[in-house]
Structure 1
Amino acid sequence: MNLSKSGGWVVLVLLLQAGSASAQIVNVQALFDDKAELGPAAAIELGGDWRTGSTQLFSVRGSLVGQIRSERNVWLGVIRGEYSFASGERIVSQVLEHVRYRRRFTDRVSGEAFVQHEYNEFRRLQLRALLGAGPRFVLFNEEATGLTFGIALMVEHERLRKDGEADAGDRYTDPRMSSYLLGRVKLMENIQLVETVYFQPRVTRPSDLRVLNETLFAVTPNPRITVGIGFNLTYDSAPPATVPAMDTQLRTTVGVKL
């Protein structure tokens, strides 16, 4: 969903979540607001579930997104966290921070550089750190449709938690290519479809591949409210021991501009 205009805030409340969500690829491209005014902008996402009775569940999620835009430069920062408990046992615990800088050279060509830190207990990640950079190309950008392609070379460092698994405490430092294709279609005056696909093969072994496919329907009934329905599918060909190779996630959000 788009960030609020300069000086404003957007509150996003999570209404529905299904499937497991422990993706290692983060689609920050969908967080850029290319229509925002010059200067700073920010958004906050909050969500939670509390169930009692036959199902005991408490879950809280949140993220903060900030953007600073000038004529040719954009800085984007993201902080996300999620914690969940079921029947007194912690089932989700993850934190992520991402900072990205974009420099526009022409209307169609720009460059990006980024850093990221991630902790995810239930993917057994004690630490994941990224550093990367590469070009971004606007293939076409019309009123009703748009398509953007980006590719970056990044260095990835992972350290698994020390537990009872065979690969406990393992460390990995690998170069990866990170490419994405971002498409948008204006279905109706106030309905937009945004599709993003990421591919991240390891440079030294391309069969070690990570994929993210994110589909988002965004409905804007009026300028102050946005409703989004999103579905994510992630795949990791070589996940840590006991971690599933594929995850899916369904989310419905409501955004209110204040």
Structure 2
Amino acid sequence: MKKYILITFVFLPLFVQSQIINIENFRRVTDTIGWSGFTRLDLHLIKNKNTIFGISNRTRIQYKTPKHLWLFINDLDFREANSKKFVNRSAQHFRHNYRFHEKIALESFLQSQNDEISAIRFRGLIGAGLRFKLSKNEDYKFYLGSLVMYEHEDIISIIEENNRDWRSSSYFSMSLSPKNNISIVSTTYFQPRFDRFSDVRISSQNTIALEVFTNLRLTVNFTYQYDQFPVIGIPKEQYGLTNGLLYSF
């Protein structure tokens, strides 16, 4: 079993509150049958001219059989500076895959989410659809998902209505390993409303990892979020760039 140490040394925060949960980053692609997962808890406390406090938890539990996959995710992130919150969000996600064909799986999910900074008091999702495996090459993996979901969203606003919408939730995911020391992982979601196609959300997460020494990788991660009709006062675009070092042993 490998252990991992991640050191983040450059971070450019440019509106990084995520509204679409990128499940592909949590899905462990493996032929191993049974349980797998991880849990991580981080605490931050800095005192100088300012007082900065933060706590985050990320947990993934996966169970796999030859035809079924169950996946549970808990993600929590809270940060404040001088008692002023600048990150306060959490999400719980449950997903089930039933592979009835070598390249096609039936996929269903439930999700609850809140994000105070993005003015989301509660967002509940339920959906189902199909997931397609587009390639057989283990070094170049491509997946396409096409799902329908119902959204129940309560927003933090006294002048805007809450949302009860049906949306399409499509995604394209790829994992490329052109060389032994390079890996590229990218997932993009596209979620328009059925009755108002211009009301669309887009989310993209892209990671490049380059092995610089044995067991030591340089990682570059870029995330992008777009919401055509966000709550008043929330920007349409939110994005962030993280560079780091990943050591495995």
Instruction: Work out whether the TM-score is over 0.5.
Output: yes
Q: Distance in 2 between matches of 1:62 and 1:93?
A: 12
Alignment TM-score, normalising by the size of structure 2: 0.88
SS of alignment partner, residue 117 of structure 1: strand
SS of alignment partner, residue 17 of structure 2: coil
Q: Distance in 2 between matches of 1:257 and 1:245?
A: 37
How far did residue 149 of structure 1 move?
0.5
SS of alignment partner, residue 29 of structure 1: helix
1:231 aligned residue: 222
2:159 aligned residue: 166
2:78 aligned residue: 83
The answer to whether the Cα contact below 8 Å between 2:95 and 2:109 also exists between their aligned partners in 1 is: yes
**Alignment CA distance shift 1:98-1:69 (3 Å):** same
Instruction: Kindly provide the amino acid, as one letter, of the partner of residue 208 in structure 1.
Output: D
Instruction: Kindly provide the amino acid, as one letter, of the partner of residue 203 in structure 2.
Output: L
Please state if 1:116 is matched with 2:107. no
How far did residue 122 of structure 1 move?
1.1
**Alignment CA distance shift 1:79-1:252 (3 Å):** farther
Instruction: Kindly provide the amino acid, as one letter, of the partner of residue 97 in structure 1.
Output: Q
Please state if 1:150 is matched with 2:145. yes
2:183 aligned residue: 192
Deviations 1:99-135 (A, max 9, x none): 0000111221111000000011111111100000000
How far did residue 218 of structure 1 move?
3.4
The answer to whether the Cα contact below 8 Å between 2:5 and 2:248 also exists between their aligned partners in 1 is: no
The answer to whether the Cα contact below 8 Å between 1:44 and 1:64 also exists between their aligned partners in 2 is: yes
Which deviates more from structure 2 when the two are superposed, residues 200-209 or residues 136-145?
A: 136-145
How far did residue 50 of structure 1 move?
3.8
Q: Distance in 2 between matches of 1:192 and 1:139?
A: 18
Q: Alignment partner for residue 91 of structure 2, among 90, 96, 115?
A: 96
2:38 aligned residue: 43
Which deviates more from structure 2 when the two are superposed, residues 233-242 or residues 86-95?
A: 86-95
1:242 aligned residue: 233
Deviations 1:137-156 (A, max 9, x none): 11113132121101100000
**Alignment CA distance shift 1:226-1:40 (3 Å):** farther
Say how many residue pairs are matched.
246
Q: Distance in 2 between matches of 1:75 and 1:257?
A: 26
Structure 2, gaps ≥5 residues long:
none
Q: Alignment partner for residue 12 of structure 2, among 15, 18, 22?
A: 18
Q: Distance in 1 between matches of 2:217 and 2:34?
A: 22
The answer to whether the Cα contact below 8 Å between 1:210 and 1:234 also exists between their aligned partners in 2 is: yes
How far did residue 59 of structure 1 move?
2.3
How far did residue 44 of structure 1 move?
2.0
How far did residue 251 of structure 1 move?
3.2
Structure 1, gaps ≥5 residues long:
1-7
Q: Distance in 2 between matches of 1:253 and 1:69?
A: 31
Deviations 1:197-221 (A, max 9, x none): 1100000000000001110123566
Q: Distance in 1 between matches of 2:5 and 2:114?
A: 23
Instruction: Kindly provide the amino acid, as one letter, of the partner of residue 138 in structure 2.
Output: E
**Alignment CA distance shift 1:17-1:60 (3 Å):** farther
Instruction: Kindly provide the amino acid, as one letter, of the partner of residue 224 in structure 2.
Output: L
Percent identity (aligned): 24
Alignment TM-score, normalising by the size of structure 1: 0.86
How far did residue 226 of structure 1 move?
6.6
How far did residue 23 of structure 1 move?
1.8
How far did residue 95 of structure 1 move?
0.9
Q: Distance in 1 between matches of 2:248 and 2:129?
A: 33
Q: Distance in 2 between matches of 1:77 and 1:100?
A: 7
